[in-house]
Amino acid sequence: MGQCGIIAVHHDMSTTVREKLSRLGIHTELDLLLHLPIRYEDETHLFLIADAPGGQTVQVEGVIINTEVIVRPRRQLVCQVEDSSGVLVMRFLNFYASQIKTYAVGKRVRLLGEIRNGFFGAEMVHPKCRIVHEGESLAETMTPIYPTTAGLTQKILAKLIKQVLQSPQTLQALAETLPGMILNQYRLISFQDSVTCLHNPPPEASLDALQLRTHPAWQRIKFDELLAQQLSMRLHYRQRRSHAAPVLAPVNKLTQQFLAQLPFKLTAAQIKAFNEISRDLGAAHPMQRLLQGDVGSGKTIVAALAALQAIENGFQAAIMAPTEILAEQHYQKLAAWFEPLGISIAWLSGSQKKKQKQTALDDIALGNAQLIIGTHALFQNQVLFNRLGLAIIDEQHRFGVHQRLALRLKGLRSDRVPHQLMMSATPIPRTLSMSYFADLDVSIIDELPPGRSPIVTKLIADNRRDEVIARIRHACEQGKQVYWVCPLIEESETLQLQTAVETHGDLCKIFPDLNIGLVHGRLSAQGKVAVMHAFKQGEAQLLVATTVIEVGVDVPNASLMVIENAERMGLSQLHQLRGRIGRGSEASVCILMFQPSLSDVARKRLKIIFEHTDGFEIARQDLLLRGPGEFLGSRQSGVPMLRFADVEQDKELLAAAHAAADKMLSDFPELAQQHIERWLGDRAECLRV
Ligand code: ADP
Ligand code: MG
């Protein structure tokens, strides 16, 4: 639409104001119009002091009958304000000397704040206070309070916004982008009305509905924002789909052979997920699918089947994992599965010896290698695939947008783009996958393989370490294996390392008869692999580890895990770690040790992980606790974030926006484009993969 240039109406605006606005992300008139209040103050009523309800912001008016600066318990300005019903104390803990005069006895003031029962009786601390004359009229509308930055007052912001709202170009800037049928279907008010209303709510508007953002004006704004996100992501989805991809139709020879040699049957959920992938691979446009399932739900086998389908069509498949430990483990596992089928596998990692690496690179380029497994090393420049048909990215949240893109573009030496399968380590709440992952198709493995015994989680305060030691001894005597996870020390890797080494030393002294392994981030790649291998082979009974073992590690005989300082870890991390046990038929126990005197959030996290083992539920609670930002990891950079809508709270609007987006893209493409531009502007051009 482009009708909103750099704030043109305010030629007279000073550079400082301009700078401050840009600090708030306001560059255009439209930005200013969409700079919506964070809350409202109700200055349309006056309460009598004696009648004013507590626990909420109220406005009262009275005459100052006493003003003094007292110094005990600390220096403060205390004024008594009286109306026909009673007296109220107002207190300022920080004040300018000039305020002593301003609030002199006899002045009439209007106070806005919360009344509490304080040291001096009914009082307002730091109220918003204005000198008024008797009978001064009240505000006719709710007063919007805007998010702002130092040096930019509410008054200036409100004035600027008012000016823009009154300018003739504004009508055009607020032109409707939704077709009538969508407005009707979801009973939405017009965009212009909603913007006007939020800046200038009419007196009859419910303050609650405005504050809680359930008012129809807010609903419209949130719908629009969600719709813009959906539109841009679906558009990217369609664009990528318009590329050509190799057709990798099911051949069912290698896949059947592979299934026949597995010691177990696939779960129904695994079969369903693979069928969805298999169908996509057979299409002439690139698959862009996210495979999600709880920890231990068996995603690796589904990925292996997908790789086989590519290979039996004469193409290469690549699997990329975020850590050396995980890549190595995939390599071991897939080599054992695929070598009997006569498939050649190449392995690529950053720490590889030069000669080995060159051999691998040659095999990849010449097409001798059919399956390629590796870390980030896979998308370096010197890696040239011969015929890459499928790129599988494990633990997709660990990779940035550009890294995934790089691997995709590596593809083929033709204009065909490889299929892409992404896997997530932990489940993603439904609302998130509907919003931030709307540019992907999603397959979900929603059941665990049979025969897993549930994990029992115990919370034990750090001062009961002896009990924990006794449990470890008991478990090892019974031939079980144990993980000991050292505290996460984010501030210092050195300290974390030191702690791990010390813990290892301590445990060696306590258990001189046990073989105790130690794995941490500073070990060389081979070092890590050797330690993990020994543990997997049962040569070590106890493994002391930092959180490097967080993802993917699979040692079914390990059935006890101790996590130290669990209160410092995030929910998905705890869930991931705990998912390392409970993989065999043995009943497993996870002991979460914590330092007493927990923070509020830490207590909530531990309660959630203690009460739930279902990763989808944990993920949902995590989303409620933390918001989407952190959940998304590096994905954030490529995806339009939401300012107003909240995917969990606004579930219904999200579903509506989701449905409306497809309708608009097919039937109203121009409006869709205008809508994206209004909400995302140049951010709509972000590359996404
Ligand atoms: P994740 O989904 O966490 O990546 P994995 O793929 O590592 O899980 O699988 C976890 C464990 O479950 C592995 O040891 C795997 O061999 C085993 N497994 C996978 N599918 C089945 C199944 N259908 N029946 C029994 N065991 C299975
Ligand atoms: Mg895995």
| Average pLDDT of the residues in 570-574 | 88
Residues pairing with 152 in the sheet: none
Average pLDDT value over all residues in the chain: 88
Angle at 213 between CA 17 and CA 235, to 5 degrees: 80
Residue with tokens 């539920």: 617
Q: Over 80: is that where the pLDDT of 628 sits?
A: no
Q: Whose CA is nearest to atom 10 of ligand 1?
A: 296
638 band by pLDDT with thresholds 50, 70 and 90? low
Write the pLDDT tens digit of every residue in 597-617: 889 999 999 999 999 999 999
pLDDT of residue 602: 92
Write the pLDDT tens digit of every residue in 454-478: 899 999 999 999 999 999 999 999 9
Distances 684 to 232, 235, 431, 434 between C-alpha atoms, Å: 7, 10, 21, 18
**CA-CA distance, 196 to 217, in Å (whole number)?**
9
**CA-CA distance, 337 to 335, in Å (whole number)?**
5
28 DSSP 8-state letter: B
Ligand closest to the CA atom of residue 296 = 1
Of the candidates 189, 176, 152, the one whose C-alpha atom is nearest the C-alpha of residue 32 is 152
pLDDT of residue 552: 58
6 DSSP 8-state letter: B
Four-way CATH pick for 455-612: 3.40.50.1100, 3.40.50.720, 3.40.50.300, 3.30.420.40: 3.40.50.300
**CA-CA distance, 347 to 369, in Å (whole number)?**
9
| Ligand 1 atom with minimal separation from the 300 CA | 6
142 DSSP 8-state letter: P
Instruction: Give the Å distance between the CA of 273 and the centre of ligand 1.
Output: 14
pTM: 0.79
pLDDT of residue 349: 85
5 band by pLDDT with thresholds 50, 70 and 90? very low
Question: Domain extents for the chain?
Answer: 15-40+143-212, 45-131, 254-445, 455-612
pLDDT of residue 630: 67
DSSP string of 498-517? HHHHHHHHHHHHH-TTS-EE
**CA-CA distance, 5 to 24, in Å (whole number)?**
17
pLDDT of residue 502: 92
pLDDT of residue 171: 80
Q: Among 14-23, 394-403, 560-569, which range has the highest average pLDDT?
A: 560-569
Sort 219 into a burial class: Cβ within 10 Å, 0-12 / 13-18 / 19+.
buried
pLDDT of residue 167: 87
Alpha-carbon dihedral 544, 550, 556, 559, rounded to 10 degrees: 60
pLDDT of residue 527: 84
Q: Which two tokens stand for residue 333?
A: 């596992």
Of the candidates 440, 405, 445, 466, the one whose C-alpha atom is nearest the C-alpha of residue 593 is 466
Total residues belonging to the chain: 689
Asked whether the domain spanning 254-445 has the same topology as the one spanning 45-131, the reply is: no
Write the pLDDT tens digit of every residue in 110-149: 999 999 988 778 999 999 999 999 999 998 888 899 999 8
Angle at 665 between CA 662 and CA 668, to 5 degrees: 120
Query: At 110, is the secondary structure helix, strand, or coil?
Result: strand
406 band by pLDDT with thresholds 50, 70 and 90? low
Q: Whose CA is nearest to atom 14 of ligand 1?
A: 554
**CA-CA distance, 483 to 580, in Å (whole number)?**
9
Q: At what angle do helices 615-626 and 571-578 cross, to 10 degrees?
A: 160
485 band by pLDDT with thresholds 50, 70 and 90? very high
No. of helices (H) and no. of strands (E), the chain:
25, 22
Instruction: Give the Å distance between the CA of 250 and the centre of ligand 1.
Output: 23
pLDDT of residue 532: 86
Alpha-carbon dihedral 197, 202, 205, 207, rounded to 10 degrees: 90
| Ligand 1 atom with minimal separation from the 579 CA | 3
Pocket of ligand 1 (CB under 6 A): 264, 266-267, 270, 293, 295-301, 449, 554, 556, 583
pLDDT of residue 10: 52
Of the candidates 609, 611, 641, the one whose C-alpha atom is nearest the C-alpha of residue 628 is 641
Q: Over 80: is that where the pLDDT of 3 sits?
A: no
Q: Over 60: is that where the pLDDT of 402 sits?
A: no
Q: Among 33-37, 395-399, 497-501, 579-583, which range has the highest average pLDDT?
A: 33-37
Please state which of the ranges 9-18, 31-40, 51-60, 365-374 shows the lowest mean pLDDT. Answer: 9-18
**CA-CA distance, 657 to 654, in Å (whole number)?**
5
| Ligand 1 atom with minimal separation from the 333 CA | 16
Q: At what angle do helices 615-626 and 600-611 cross, to 10 degrees?
A: 170
Please state which of the ranges 370-379, 572-581, 602-611, 677-686 shows the lowest mean pLDDT. Answer: 677-686
Q: Which of 290, 301, 329 to mutate to test the pocket of ligand 1 (most atoms within 8 A of CB)?
A: 301
Return the percentage of the chain with pLDDT > 90, whole number.
58
| Average pLDDT of the residues in 583-594 | 89
Return the percentage of the chain with pLDDT > 70, whole number.
92
| Average pLDDT of the residues in 150-175 | 88
Q: At what angle do helices 254-261 and 299-311 cross, to 10 degrees?
A: 150
| Ligand 1 atom with minimal separation from the 583 CA | 11
The letter for the amino acid at 358 is Q
Q: Over 90: is that where the pLDDT of 89 sits?
A: yes
Buried b (16+ CB within 10 A) or exposed e, 625-647: eeebeebbbebbebbbebebbbb
Q: Over 60: is that where the pLDDT of 403 sits?
A: no
| Ligand 1 atom with minimal separation from the 266 CA | 23
131 DSSP 8-state letter: E
| Average pLDDT of the residues in 571-592 | 88
pLDDT, greater one: 51 or 406: 51
DSSP string of 186-235? TTPPPHHHHHHHHHS--TTS-HHHHHTT-SHHHHHHHHHHHHHHHHHHHH
Q: Which of 292, 297, 319, 330 to mutate to test the pocket of ligand 1 (most atoms within 8 A of CB)?
A: 297
| Average pLDDT of the residues in 211-238 | 94
541 band by pLDDT with thresholds 50, 70 and 90? very high
| Ligand 1 atom with minimal separation from the 267 CA | 23
Q: What are phi and psi of 506, to 5 degrees?
A: -60, -45
Q: Whose CA is nearest to atom 25 of ligand 1?
A: 449
Q: Which of 262, 264, 421 to mutate to test the pocket of ligand 1 (most atoms within 8 A of CB)?
A: 264
Residues pairing with 112 in the sheet: 59, 128
DSSP string of 319-335? EE-SSHHHHHHHHHHHH
Q: Over 90: is that where the pLDDT of 239 sits?
A: no
Q: Over 70: is that where the pLDDT of 635 sits?
A: no
Angle at 136 between CA 131 and CA 142, to 5 degrees: 90
Q: Over 80: is that where the pLDDT of 223 sits?
A: yes
Sign of CA dihedral 524, 529, 532, 533: negative
pLDDT, greater one: 585 or 652: 652
The letter for the amino acid at 458 is K
Please report the beta strands in 26-127, taking only residues with DSSP state E, as ranges in sequence order: 39-41, 57-70, 76-82, 87-92, 108-114, 116-118, 121-125
324 band by pLDDT with thresholds 50, 70 and 90? confident
Domain made up of 254-445: CATH architecture: 3-Layer(aba) Sandwich (3.40)
Instruction: Write the CB contacts of 327 (distance below 8 Å, at least 6 apart in sequence).
Output: 319, 320, 321, 347, 349, 373, 374, 375
Domain 45-131: CATH class, spelled out = mainly beta
Instruction: Write the CB contacts of 90 (distance below 8 Å, at least 6 apart in sequence).
Output: 78, 79, 81, 109, 111, 113, 123, 124, 125, 127, 129
The letter for the amino acid at 488 is L
Q: Over 60: is that where the pLDDT of 281 sits?
A: yes
